[in-house]
Structure 1
Amino acid sequence: MSIRQPPVLAVKPSPALFLLAATLAVVSQWRSASAQDTSTTERADMMKEIAAIAAGTGAASGRHTLDPRVMAVMGQVPRHEFVPEAQKPYAYHNRPLPIGHGQTISQPYIVGLMTDLLMAKPGDTVLEIGTGSGYQAAVLAGLVKAVYTIEIIEPLGRQACDRLKRLAYQQVACKVGDGYYGWEEHAPYDAIVVTAAASHVPPPLIRQLKPGGRMVIPVGAQFMTQYLLLVEKAADGAVSTRQILPVRFVPLVSKP
């Protein structure tokens, strides 16, 4: 005995449903484009402020204007992708922002100045100590061949690595570890940037800096005066340092 199946009813969407779906799609696209336009405008305003600060502090820093390549890259990197949700409204304000675990994303001007001082070239390999949110690494990725970045706080390091992969920064390699000792495997480096304040310049980082290379590092105790230092290694291995500006960074954490 065969069992007769109930007929399949074809439901024809009404014109009203088609209109609703089309409207929702347009609204979604408008919101996406609007958000993109807003971040683009905010980023442009941030870059104008960075240029103005550089001009005003040039007598102290020695850099009245920042490298146009650095400015162009910072004008493209979406800083709002590198801050927690609650901080997104302030992503393009020229100030540091908390990113959790007692850490911060640096003030955009300081990121620009530190990057500028490295004088990195397209074929260079750069080491970053203190990945944080990954923003500095993303900026460097637009300027050099390869970036190796180390973060000692595991949750931050994992989040930053996932974020950089999601945003397709393929030139960046991440590692969770103690940045005080650098990343010997890929040394020597054309440039090294440290994004936390050390009590002194770590000797392992000096060893891993290529002759002719530059390191930018904040040095000083957490609640005392810190200075941004430019460390240069001559072709013969001689090391010289120069104070750039007083700064305030979270301390460089190292395992005993």
Structure 2
Amino acid sequence: MSDTYRHKGQRKLLAKLLAEKGINCPDVLLAIETVPRHLFIPDTALHKYAYEDNAFPIGSGQTISQPYTIAFQTQMLEIKKREKVLEIGTGSGYQTAVLLEVGAKVFSIERQKALFDRTKNFLPSIGYNAKLFYGDGYAGLPSFAPFDKIIVTAGAPYIPEDLLSQLKIGGIMMIPVGDDDDKIMKKVIKKGEKSFEVEELGIFRFVPLLKEKGND
């Protein structure tokens, strides 16, 4: 696994592109410049395309999201240093690494066992340490709640009640919601125990959020 000056140069260009697309948080842009995205893509033949603003397959029917989507969700979470962030859908671990770079304490759940096994070994090997769990993202992590922020990295047909209950009052959740490939990105702000402000932020494409077998 190598990270060359060429890769670093490509990341600078990617961050510049994302800034032109409206990403303006310095911490998020620096994270994009820092995290070696090519290392998170299992197919080495795709590494030369890693710093294009595209999604790529990572196995188990899942993808590594396009950098703009990663940066947009992260920016909209408004993360402060040392905040507890629950990530639903670890996947390749790229979003996890970006969250860590902006200063979050990350708790991440992955439903696909093969992805979980690969990522739990890979992330520490390149210096990223998060609390990773294999399980049902719809259920969240109640024993570690409440969370300052929650990010869902796969499309859900609805906003899970369990996740809403695990969000701190004043906390933010970013979640793509919809029944087809095109999801509506929603920003949910918890105003009280049972009151929420929901803002719709455009259409994004995501793979579906999976439940535990038997819970469909």
Give the alignment's TM-score, normalised by structure 2: 0.94
Query: Which residue identity is paired with 1:241?
Result: V
Aligned partner of 1:37 in structure 2 is 5
Gaps of 5+ in 2: none
Percent identity, aligned pairs only, is: 39
Distance 1:144 1:80 in 2: 22
Larger radius of gyration: 1
Give 1:235 deviation, angstroms: 4.7
Indicate yes or no: 2:24 matched with 1:66.
Answer: yes
Aligned partner of 1:112 in structure 2 is 71
Indicate yes or no: 2:210 matched with 1:253.
Answer: yes
CA contact (8 A) 2:79 2:104 kept: no
Deviations 1:189-217 (A, max 9, x none): 00000000000000000000000000000
The structure whose RCO (Cα within 8 Å, separation 6+) is larger is: 2
Aligned partner of 2:88 in structure 1 is 129
Aligned partner of 2:112 in structure 1 is 153
Aligned partner of 2:195 in structure 1 is 238
CA contact (8 A) 1:181 1:204 kept: yes
Runs of 4+ in 1 over 3 A off after TM superposition: none
Distance 1:76 1:135 in 2: 11
Deviations 1:128-148 (A, max 9, x none): 000000000000011234100
Distance 1:110 1:215 in 2: 15
More displaced, 139-148 or 109-118? 139-148
Distance 1:151 1:46 in 2: 27
Gaps of 5+ in 1: 1-31, 55-64
CA contact (8 A) 1:222 1:250 kept: no
Q: How large is the Cα RMSD of the aligned pairs?
A: 1.3
Distance 2:27 2:191 in 1: 25
Distance 2:103 2:190 in 1: 19
Aligned partner of 2:98 in structure 1 is 139
Give the alignment's TM-score, normalised by structure 1: 0.80
- Tell me the number of residue pairs that the alignment of Structure 1 and Structure 2 aligns: 211
